[in-house]
């Protein structure tokens, strides 16, 4: 009741003061919404013909839609490490050529020496919450509360990583929508609160948790990280969405994610926070093409998850901040998830961690105030550098499809594509542009000079024991 009264009084004061309390001068809130295995071509505003995403389309129309936005890895664990630290995962040990991601028996996790966006903001007085998939270490010492988050509710790793004993072997189990086959737990804080959650309700539960956190806003700014488990397989949607899309279960799941985004933006609007909150939507990597109708599409891009072709790492990227980000802009400069840490640091006035950062402060792009100088973007698969982009040019030293080919193909000279002319990477123009290859090689050499040896976090194992996360 007192809280309600305070809200009413503050709302009145805001109105009188012309919403000064929620505008420039105050430190903004930040919300990152991250999908899992959502492809570049899976949203209506990115050209999907049948999946309906009115909330994300509206978010793009009111904000900025990036056409060349990258995750920093081709699979889940390294991608999330990069997002939260602003660094290539090769710097944190959060990638591996054989193991690729953390598993349900992994002992490792994001090293404590790494600074996350949440830590950086919590030092500055922000409320912080992580909702959803973590996948940066499931032992208690690796969970979000150890990495700057006041609150955590979600799954410690992918929703397919703890099949039940009666789940059939092989890939058939992914196509039957049998919730009993999956036992990935739900955790609150560092405690398991549900050992076999109904995955059909997962998107809804995450959404309610996010709304709750927004509703509990006080006079402190906040950082909310919502990492959905879907559309990673196995796919589940709530009864309200199952069977409702034109595009099968995959469409149902993406349309429920779209609903979730709409709910979160509505929660911000209804609290009067929209104009003081930067919201970014993206995905951890490209679509998992081997799953056919249970996987997405990279649109016109080549290949998907697990590959360093564009389809593996270029993902949807939408930024929304009414009144600050100009509405309806299609942003064709490239950017990446690693840019979020330095950008958020700048916008919140927090100091940058004293480590090598790979992202750039892209506030000038977002706010329409200028351009951003960039050197190059590195496409890693595990700990191996496969490709490098500089300006519109991308050189592939190695290529490997996401369809499960065991060995990469080596290219000497590298293959070269001009991505703005040839986003589908269809014709190799290396022989015509030796000078570009030399320029890219110099960028790679500069990058390599900044690398330090680091112990991998993805090898060490413990017994599989979901209860291990219980305290």
Distance CA 54, CA 262 (A): 8
Question: Which residue spans within 262-401 are E strands per DSSP?
Answer: 277-283, 314-320, 329-331, 335-336, 377-381, 384-390, 393-399
Distance CA 299, CA 14 (A): 44
- Considering only 293, 356, 450, 465, the residue that binds a second copy (CB under 8 A) is 293
Select from 289, 277, 290, 357 the least CA-distant residue to 319: 277
Position 402 contacts a second copy (CB under 8 A):
no
Minimum distance from CB of 298 to a second copy (Å)?
8
Binding status of residue 49 toward a second copy by CB under 8 A: yes
Q: Please calculate the CA angle 164-166-172 and round it to the nearest 5 degrees.
A: 90
Instruction: Return the number of the residue (61 or 192) whose C-beta is nearest a second copy.
Output: 61
Contacts with 193 (C-beta within 8 Å, 6 or more apart), sequence order: 185, 186, 187
Distances (CA, A) of 12 to 15, 220, 462: 5, 18, 55
For the question of residue 14 being annotated catalytic, the response is no
Candidates 101-109, 137-145, 216-224, 414-422; binding stretch for a second copy (CB under 8 A): 414-422
Peptide bond before 413: cis, by omega within 30 degrees of 0? yes
> Among 6, 12, 50, 446, which residue interacts with a second copy (rule: CB under 8 A)?
50
Instruction: Please name the residue that has the structure tokens 């690796």.
Output: 142
DSSP for 229-298 reads -TTSSSP---TTTTTTSSSHHHHHHHHHHHHHHHHHHHHHHHTT-GGGEEEEEEESS---GGGGGGS---
Report the run of H or E that residue 405 belongs to, with start and end: none
Q: How far is the CB of 314 from a second copy (least distance, A)?
A: 8
Catalytic annotation present for 135: yes
CB 305 within 8 A of CB 75: yes
Token representation of residue 264: 């979160």
Size of the site for a second copy (CB under 8 A): 33
Which one of residues 424, 437, 466, 470 is an interface residue with a second copy (CB under 8 A)? 424
Q: Tell me the window of 72-80, 269-277, 408-416, 422-430 that interacts with a second copy (CB under 8 A).
A: 422-430
* Rounded CA separation 125/159 (Å): 33
DSSP 3-state percent helix, strand, coil across the chain (nearest 5): 35, 20, 50
User: Is 248 near a second copy (CB under 8 A)?
Assistant: yes
Task: Give the binding range for a second copy (CB under 8 A) out of 114-122, 183-191, 297-305, 339-347.
Answer: 297-305
- C-beta of 239: minimal distance to a second copy in Å? 20
Region from 203-211, 292-300, 378-386, 436-444 binding a second copy, contact rule CB under 8 A: 292-300
- The answer to whether residue 259 forms part of the interface with a second copy (CB under 8 A) is no
Report the C-alpha gap between 471 and 104 in whole angstroms: 17
Which one of 37, 68, 284, 339 is in contact with a second copy (CB under 8 A)?
68
Q: Which range, of 178-186, 351-359, 372-380, 421-429, touches a second copy by CB under 8 A?
A: 421-429
Among 10, 21, 201, 300, binds a second copy (CB under 8 A): 300
Q: Say if residues 386 and 308 touch (Cβ distance below 8 Å).
A: yes
- The residue annotated as part of the active site, out of 22, 48, 76, 138, is 76
**Interface pick for a second copy out of 44, 92, 260, 276 (rule CB under 8 A):** 44
Q: CA-to-CA distance for 59 and 41, rounded, in angstroms?
A: 16
131 phi/psi in degrees, rounded to 5 = -130, 130
Per-residue x/- track, 426-455, a second copy (CB under 8 A)? xx----------------------------
Considering only the stretches 204-212, 221-229, 293-301, 342-350, report the one whose residues sit in contact with a second copy under the rule CB under 8 A: 293-301
- What is the nearest approach in angstroms of a second copy to the Cβ of residue 335? 13
Q: Work out which of 31, 36, 38, 46 binds a second copy, going by CB under 8 A.
A: 46
Based on CB atoms, which residue is closest to a second copy, 48 or 87? 48
140's tokens? 């208690």
Q: Which of 28, 89, 108, 299 binds a second copy (CB under 8 A)?
A: 299
Tokens of 76: 């889940």
Residues 303-332 close enough to bind a second copy by CB under 8 A:
330, 332
Among 22, 37, 38, 48, binds a second copy (CB under 8 A): 48
Question: Which residue's structure tokens are 């939507």?
Answer: 281
Which is the catalytic residue, given 22, 95, 96, 135? 135
Which residues contact a second copy by CB under 8 A? 41, 44, 46-50, 52, 67-68, 246-248, 250-251, 289, 292-293, 297-300, 330, 332, 392, 418, 420-424, 426-427
Query: What are the catalytic residues?
Result: 76, 135
């Amino acid at each position: 009741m007192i809280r309600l009264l305070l809200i009413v009084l503050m709302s009145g004061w805001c109105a009188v003061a012309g919403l000064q309390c929620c505008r420039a001068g105050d430190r903004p809130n930040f919300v990152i919404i991250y999908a899992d295995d959502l492809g570049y071509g899976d949203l209506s505003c990115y050209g999907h013909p049948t999946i309906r995403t009115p909330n994300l389309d509206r978010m793009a129309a009111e904000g900025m839609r990036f056409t060349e936005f990258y995750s920093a890895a081709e699979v889940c664990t390294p991608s999330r490490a990069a997002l939260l630290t602003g660094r290539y995962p090769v710097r944190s040990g959060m990638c591996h050529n054989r193991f690729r991601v953390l598993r349900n028996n992994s002992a490792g996790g994001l090293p404590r020496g790494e600074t996350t966006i949440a830590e950086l903001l919590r030092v500055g007085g922000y409320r912080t919450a992580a909702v959803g998939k973590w996948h940066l270490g499931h032992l208690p010492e690796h969970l979000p509360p150890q990495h700057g988050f006041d609150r955590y509710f979600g799954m410690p790793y992918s929703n397919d990583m703890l099949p039940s004993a009666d789940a059939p072997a092989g890939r058939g189990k992914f196509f039957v929508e049998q919730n009993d086959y999956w036992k990935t737990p739900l955790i609150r804080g560092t405690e398991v609160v549900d050992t076999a959650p109904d995955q059909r309700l997962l998107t809804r539960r995450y959404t309610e948790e996010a709304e709750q956190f927004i509703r509990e806003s006080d006079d402190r700014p906040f950082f909310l990280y919502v990492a959905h488990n879907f559309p990673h397989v196995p796919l589940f949607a709530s009864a309200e969405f199952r069977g409702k899309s034109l595009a099968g279960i995959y469409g149902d799941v993406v349309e429920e994610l779209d609903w979730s985004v709409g709910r979160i933006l509505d929660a911000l609007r209804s609290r009067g926070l929209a104009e003081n909150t930067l919201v970014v939507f993206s995905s951890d990597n490209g679509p998992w093409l081997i799953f056919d109708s249970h996987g997405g599409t990279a649109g016109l891009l080549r290949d998907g998850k697990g590959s360093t072709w564009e389809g593996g790492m270029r993902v949807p990227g939408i930024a929304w901040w009414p009144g600050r980000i100009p509405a309806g802009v299609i942003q064709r400069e490239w950017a990446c998830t690693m840019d979020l840490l330095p950008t958020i640091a700048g916008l919140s006035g927090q100091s940058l961690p004293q480590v090598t950062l790979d992202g750039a402060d892209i506030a000038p792009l977002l706010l329409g105030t200028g351009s951003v100088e960039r050197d190059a973007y590195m496409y890693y698969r595990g700990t191996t550098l496969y490709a490098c982009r500089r300006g519109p040019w991308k050189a592939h030293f190695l290529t490997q499809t996401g369809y499960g080919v065991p060995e990469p193909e080596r290219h000497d000279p590298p293959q070269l594509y001009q991505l703005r002319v040839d986003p589908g990477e269809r014709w190799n123009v290396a022989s015509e542009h030796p000078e570009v290859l030399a320029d890219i090689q110099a960028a790679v050499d500069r990058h390599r000079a900044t690398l330090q040896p680091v112990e991998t976090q993805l090898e060490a194992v413990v017994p599989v024991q979901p209860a291990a996360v219980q305290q």
